């Protein structure tokens, strides 16, 4: 399987703080990769490398290479960053719909990318809401504010919003951490369904979740990538002692 994303010796500094210490990792195409590790270990920072979200934080310095389909995304022109972000969808920790209608939330990504064909937008909104398993629940209230939905529905709406612009990679930053078990279950089912079409990276604090949804798992600790392997291997027979300690709950 080809590698969709790859980082080669990436270091990241927030001012004085050395957040990522030389991470080299290749992420296969059409797979789910879970990033685990204790808080502050750098896994979210690592995730945000791939759509250059770290750029928004002042005093950030990045060295090394971040490749997507073999191209270094930190070498592209700054005017092309918007285009990069269009191909990399992101779902955040807390549901963050815009203060707009359900329909406009999903259509937003299309509109800002210059698509004005209304029938295309309508089709795309329905398609992605179906993909996110939300269509049946919201089809009669598309004009209503997104804030009227429950937390779990809002998060699925955010997933639909990310899917609408047809990215190839989806980054998920603890997408279920603010949700109840039933909503979490729905999100996990969704991740499972999406895996065929997308490359998904998910940051999670929930060990069972990582075990359930992912094909590969990377364990981060204090800005280092300790171990990366097939999820099954990591959870049954990790090769590093730290990984085993963390997974079995002895620290972290």
Partner 1 sequence: MRIRRFTEPIFESLIKICGYSSGFVVLLIIVFLFKEGISFFGSSPVEEGFTMYVHASNPVKDLSAAQIKDVFDQKITNWKALGGADQPIDFEFLPKCIDSYMDSLPGSLAFFPSAQTDGKLKSAIPIKIDKITVGKFLSDTEWFPTSRPAARMGVMPLLLGTLLVSFFAIIIALPLGLAASIYLAEIADERIRKILKPVIELLAGIPSVVYGFFGLVVIVPLVQSTFNLPVGETALAGSIVLAIMALPTIITVSEDALRTTPRAMKEASLALGASQWQTIRLVTVPYAASGITAAAILGIGRAIGETMAALMVTGNSAIMPPTLLQPVRTIPATIAAELGEAPFGGLHFQALFALGCLLFIITLIINLLVERVSAKRN
Task: Kindly state whether residue 108 participates in binding partner 1, applying the rule CB under 8 A.
Answer: yes
Q: How many CB atoms lie within 10 A of CB 136?
A: 9
- Cβ proximity to partner 1: between 20 and 158 the closer is 158
Least CB distance to partner 1 at residue 162 (A):
7
What's the angle, vertex CA 104, arms to CA 103 and CA 105, rounded to 5? 90
Task: Kindly state whether residue 96 participates in binding partner 1, applying the rule CB under 8 A.
Answer: yes
Task: Kindly state whether residue 90 participates in binding partner 1, applying the rule CB under 8 A.
Answer: yes
Collapse the DSSP code of 109 into the 3-class scheme (helix H, G, I; strand E, B; otherwise coil) and give the result: helix
Partnered with residue 199 across adjacent β-strands are 169
- Cβ proximity to partner 1: between 92 and 135 the closer is 92
Q: Which of residues 180-199 bind partner 1 (CB under 8 A)?
A: none
Least CB distance to partner 1 at residue 13 (A):
17
Binder to partner 1 among 5, 157, 162, 201 (CB under 8 A)?
162
Task: Kindly state whether residue 155 participates in binding partner 1, applying the rule CB under 8 A.
Answer: no
- Cβ proximity to partner 1: between 24 and 151 the closer is 151
Q: Which stretch binds partner 1 (CB under 8 A): 34-42, 89-97, 203-211, 242-250?
A: 89-97
Binder to partner 1 among 14, 74, 92, 135 (CB under 8 A)?
92
Least CB distance to partner 1 at residue 50 (A):
11
- Cβ burial of 47 (10 Å; 0-12, 13-18, 19+) is buried
Partnered with residue 171 across adjacent β-strands are 90, 201
Q: Kind and range of the H or E element at 131?
A: helix 118-131
Q: Which of residues 32-61 bind partner 1 (CB under 8 A)?
A: 51, 53, 56, 58
Q: Kind and range of the H or E element at 93?
A: none
- Cβ proximity to partner 1: between 48 and 186 the closer is 48
Q: Which stretch binds partner 1 (CB under 8 A): 39-47, 118-126, 134-142, 161-169?
A: 161-169
Contact 106, 129 (CB under 8 A): yes
Task: Kindly state whether residue 74 participates in binding partner 1, applying the rule CB under 8 A.
Answer: no
How far is it, in rounded angstroms, from Cα 87 to Cα 163?
10
Partnered with residue 7 across adjacent β-strands are 25, 66
Partnered with residue 67 across adjacent β-strands are 6, 72
Q: How many CB atoms lie within 10 A of CB 200?
A: 24
Least CB distance to partner 1 at residue 163 (A):
11
Task: Kindly state whether residue 112 participates in binding partner 1, applying the rule CB under 8 A.
Answer: yes
How far is it, in rounded angstroms, from Cα 171 to Cα 162?
9
CA end-to-end distance (rounded Å), the chain: 33
Q: Which residues bind partner 1 (CB under 8 A)?
A: 51, 53, 56, 58, 82-83, 85-86, 88-90, 92-94, 96, 98-100, 108-109, 112-113, 158, 161-162, 165
């Amino acid at each position: 399987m080809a590698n969709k994303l790859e980082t080669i010796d990436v270091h990241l500094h927030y001012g004085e703080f050395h957040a990522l210490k030389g991470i080299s990792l290749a992420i296969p195409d059409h797979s789910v990769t879970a990033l685990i590790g204790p808080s502050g270990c750098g896994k979210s920072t690592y995730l945000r490398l791939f759509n250059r979200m770290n750029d928004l934080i002042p005093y950030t310095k990045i060295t090394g290479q971040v490749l997507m389909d073999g191209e270094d995304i930190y070498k592209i022109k700054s005017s092309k960053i918007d285009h990069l972000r269009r191909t990399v969808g992101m779902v955040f920790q807390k549901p963050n719909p815009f203060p707009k209608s359900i329909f406009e939330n999903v259509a937003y990504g299309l509109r800002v990318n210059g698509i004005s064909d209304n029938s295309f937008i309508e089709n795309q909104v329905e398609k992605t809401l179906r993909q996110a398993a939300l269509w049946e629940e919201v089809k009669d209230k598309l004009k209503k504010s997104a804030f009227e939905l429950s937390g779990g529905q809002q998060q699925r709406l955010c997933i639909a919003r990310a899917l609408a612009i047809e990215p190839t990679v989806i980054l998920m930053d603890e997408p279920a951490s603010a949700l109840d078990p039933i909503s979490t279950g729905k999100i996990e089912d969704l991740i499972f369904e999406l895996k065929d079409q997308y490359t998904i990276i998910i940051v999670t604090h929930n060990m069972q979740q990582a075990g359930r949804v992912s094909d590969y798992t990377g364990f981060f600790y204090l800005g280092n990538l300790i171990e990366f392997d097939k999820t099954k291997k990591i959870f049954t027979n990790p090769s590093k002692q730290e990984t085993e300690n963390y997974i079995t709950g002895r620290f972290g």
